[in-house]
Structure 1
Amino acid sequence: MPHIETVAPDEATGLLAKEYGKAIRRAGRVFNVIGIQSLNPAVLGASVRLYEALMLGPGPLGRDVREMLATVTSRELECFY
């Protein structure tokens, strides 16, 4: 399995520390999908905003359906996260 360099939550400073703090408030921890973006906090912030717009924004599908589609797609693509 490839190794991706990340910044641990207890080592984060500045913008990354703020993004990690938001992640912990949202989910109780910093999940890998967040941590792998830690070397570029600006991209991490944009990624979270995109996720929130897609999963929480208005639209004809409920959150449960959106989450199910994301899970099925990840499974089909053999993407484990």
Structure 2
Amino acid sequence: MKIVVERGANDADLNLARDWVIAHGVDPNLVPIPAEIVVDDGRITFEQLVRDEDGRFVIEGDDVKRTTVTVEQRWPWPFERAVLAGA
């Protein structure tokens, strides 16, 4: 399943999605929005912003550097829909 979290999604949805990310050991402050999250075969894959050893974001060109991260899925996606978007 491909999950899309867009800018403008309502706060209640974002809070629930944030809790889900935290439950998987991921810092939600490092997951950029908009985001695409892929849940497949017991794994969750997403992009994460990269920080240096001093905790500062690493800049690459005009944007913050990103890396792809995969973690084991511990809990099901808490929504019936796969897109969280603004009205």
Q: Which structure is higher in helix share? A: 1
TM-score by length of 2: 0.28
Q: Which structure is higher in strand share? A: 2
TM-score by length of 1: 0.29
Greater gyration radius: 1
